[in-house]
């Protein structure tokens, strides 16, 4: 399911939007150096998330914050990873 268009205020509509890292990067392209660095960071973390998904099939990763807005230069990516399959390591 594609990411819906941003609202007039530059944010995503409320709700969960199931997507891939590639789709996120396509919707929030590297138009500034900050976005370029954050997109690279998201690509860099993808193998770890994929590995975790094999160990914890119930894993859900949420990307939030200013990164998923129209803000040209967000400072970071808010990433929350949830699973019931593993205890703290």
Tens digits of residue pLDDT in 57-87 = 999 999 999 999 999 999 999 999 999 886 6
What's residue 27's pLDDT? Answer: 94
Helices assigned H by DSSP within 18-82:
21-27, 33-55
Instruction: Give the helix/strand (H/E) hosting 82.
Output: strand 78-82
Number of domains in the chain: 1
Tens digits of residue pLDDT in 6-32 = 999 999 999 999 999 999 999 999 999
Domain interval for residue 83: 1-89
Q: Which residues does residue 81 pair with via DSSP β-bridges, in sequence order?
A: 61
């Amino acid at each position: 399911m594609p990411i819906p268009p941003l609202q007039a205020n530059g944010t995503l509509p409320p709700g969960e939007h199931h997507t891939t890292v590639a789709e996120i990067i396509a919707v929030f392209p590297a138009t500034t150096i900050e976005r370029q660095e954050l997109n690279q960071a998201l690509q860099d973390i993808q193998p770890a998330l994929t590995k975790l998904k094999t160990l914890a099939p119930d894993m859900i990763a949420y990307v939030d914050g200013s990164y998923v807005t129209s803000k040209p230069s967000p400072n970071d990516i808010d990433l929350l990873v949830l699973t019931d399959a593993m205890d703290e390591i």
